[in-house]
Homo-oligomer: A and B are copies of this chain.
Amino acid sequence: MTQKAFQDYYPEQLSHCYGCGRLNNHGLQIKSYWDGEEAVCIFQPKPYHTAIPGYVYGGLIASLIDCHSTGTAAAAMYRLQKREMDTNPPLRFITAALHVDYMRPTPIDNPLELRSKVKEINNRKVIISTTLFSRGEICARGEVVAVQMPDNLYPPD
């Protein structure tokens, strides 16, 4: 895809997240994009992201759902406000609650595809539903309650 990922709009001081920060060299550096009304993220697990041999670690799945969903929450709020993602004031969401149902073991040797939809959006809260696929099969379903980051958590520029 040639469009810019949600995470590429995050300001530098908010780009160190282990899951989605483009400046965290140890991290997952996930990228999320709009695909119509859904937000999509493709992620290739490393061989060491395993649970039992051949299958993806559930904590990685939770992490992907978490970061892709909070990124989608921010993108959705910008879109609702008809604003570009690099305009001020910045909108950044953190996770209040995360739920994951693991439907079946997730094969590790294929890219994972996460597809998210906005379930609810209002003033400072967005609920995102996310489905995780491997080889076209649903392997997990997640829901994230994302809330706008309080001003006191914003790091200095």
Contacts and interface: CB of A to CB of B under 8 A. Distances in A.
A117 B59 CA distance: 20
Interface stretch (A14-22, A72-80, A129-137): A14-22
Interface in A93-109: 94-102, 105
A13 interface: yes
A36 interface: no
Interface residues of A, number: 43
A21 B57 CA distance: 11
Interface string A43-69: 000101111111101111011101100
A24 interface: yes
Nearest to A49: B18
A58 B155 contact: no
Given A18-B59, A59-B62, A52 B98 contact: no
A26 interface: yes
Contacts of A62: 59, 62-63, 66, 98, 100
Given A18-B57, A66-B58, A98-B100, A24 B52 contact: no
